[in-house]
Structure 1
């Protein structure tokens, strides 16, 4: 059984919005397991359903680059936001984003690519670490491409042109005019940045995630005390709602909050006189999935003195 501390109670409370006593009980009931405690609180109706995007804890920049019908996005991490504002670091992100267009979404291939001015991307990164004086890493990359149409990029919270905290690529397959695709792609990319869909279609949602959501829905429905056939319908309704709200094409467009994204794309195609297919998208948010330990000075002092931290 994992130790239940004030820090774990605080983390669970921040992740779920549940009351402190409910968080303590959830951790006690689940042996201190954080994920199981989140599910327990949700099943009891004590926490809001939340997407598992991970805590955004790393610093650095997400960069994008587009060349015709191909686009690339990269994430380069640093230890502090101060370095993300450094011109040398930004220049590296800018160049690597362009080089990523030829790496096919393979971060290892990108690291071995020739960097302008000599050496490889990885060697240039090592040099930057030495000269800037802070650890940095090329974490991930992705590439989207269409045969005909456009790949449109968007950066949210831009720190410099084509780089910021969130980078989005949208791939539109169509013979429609370029200006139509650019305008539509930009709006959809802004929607993706804000709404954070988990998949393009409902059928593409992660099977493990869906199984977890169904288990929570079943437990909540069963506690209603209603007959089994009604419980089954309740679960089906909950899962249908989850698919609709988390798949891009069925999400309500943030621009009007009433039209499904699929209908927005279809309407744009009708107006342009050429069908438009939203083929794929990529959304990189800086640091998602990376957890960085937060320094608690009081806790460090207590630990150093050998005094245990009580659960508040």
Structure 2
């Protein structure tokens, strides 16, 4: 069967694959459009497997909030920042967040097996595989989270998707002032990396573990000092560390005279609200992924040999 330009164009619009790949698929399937789509998906899988060994440590974090009450956050990784800034990739990440906000899954395996945004013919994993074939880089939906609130949820994205934050607050007043204040708190979280909302969330096991580390450090630094003096020293150091990792005890970056907790109290009083920070989620792109360090000079030299 003769393969026409209009057939290639139609297949390309459906799949987003390259022109020559579309022509080959149609040739191999004798012009059958549905079969050609499946052909490209199958070969996309092969390409995806070849790319799966590449480190995907760039990418984007995106969030979505509906009516202040339901929110989702997702991190999708790519190999290069160049791809992360393309419309194709950003559209995919946006769709992943839309999937996450309606998802009932609690882990990545369940999420990847879900029908793609209501399309029962494809799973999330299959769409990711297709996107790898189209974009030409290894991509990874690394993580997602979803929260529901009876109070108010706000989101904040920093650095063109490098850091994303969701803040969930208990509040009986929801207005622009409250939303603005919670966004300020989200910016604080993005910048200062707290681990907990308050000291009450920190486990005794964590405190004891940190105490032992500080004790060993103090004894090494001050071998001549008696144990009772060292004990007082490490209590002070531990309290200082806890203030740095607990959001409400941190110095508020926009007003160093206040802690974040005092800032929230101030906003609550001004709005006659019962306002408290319930939880937060912070994703940073590539966090914890060991990135490949390319030696450009060595790479050029190898190609010249």
Indicate the SS of the match to 1:184: helix
Task: Give the CA deviation at 1:218.
Answer: 1.0
TM-score by length of 1: 0.71
Greater CA drift, 169-178 or 129-138: 169-178
Q: Normalization by structure 2: what TM-score?
A: 0.73
Matches within 5 A, 1:99-178: 99-104=99-104, 105-116=106-117, 118=119, 119-147=122-150, 149-158=151-160, 164-178=161-175
Where in structure 2 are the equivalents of 1:129-278 lying within 5 Å? 129-147=132-150, 149-158=151-160, 164-205=161-202, 210-222=207-219, 223-224=221-222, 225-278=224-277
1:165-224 deviation per Cα after TM superposition (whole angstroms, max 9, x unaligned): 100000011111331321111100111111111111224346676455323321232232
CA contact (8 A) 2:57 2:77 kept: yes
Bigger Cα Rg? 2
Residues 1:235 and 1:117: Cα distance change in structure 2 (over 3 Å): closer
Unaligned runs of 5+ in 1: 1-56, 159-163, 302-312
Contact 2:163 2:190 in 1 (8 A): yes
| 1:44-123 to 2 correspondences below 5 Å | 58-68=57-67, 69-104=69-104, 105-116=106-117, 118=119, 119-123=122-126
5+ residue gaps, structure 2: 1-55, 301-305
CA distance in 2, matches of 1:101, 1:180: 25
Distance 1:299 1:60 in 2: 26
CA distance in 2, matches of 1:258, 1:199: 21
Range that drifts further, 64-73 or 211-220: 211-220
Inter-partner Cα distance in structure 1 for 2:115 and 2:60: 21
> Which stretch of the first structure deviates more once superposed, 256-265 or 59-68?
256-265
Return the alpha-carbon distance in structure 1 between the equivalents of residues 128 and 217 of structure 2: 50
Distance across 2 between alignment mates of 1:70 and 1:227: 54
Conservation of the 8 A alpha-carbon contact between 2:60 and 2:77: yes
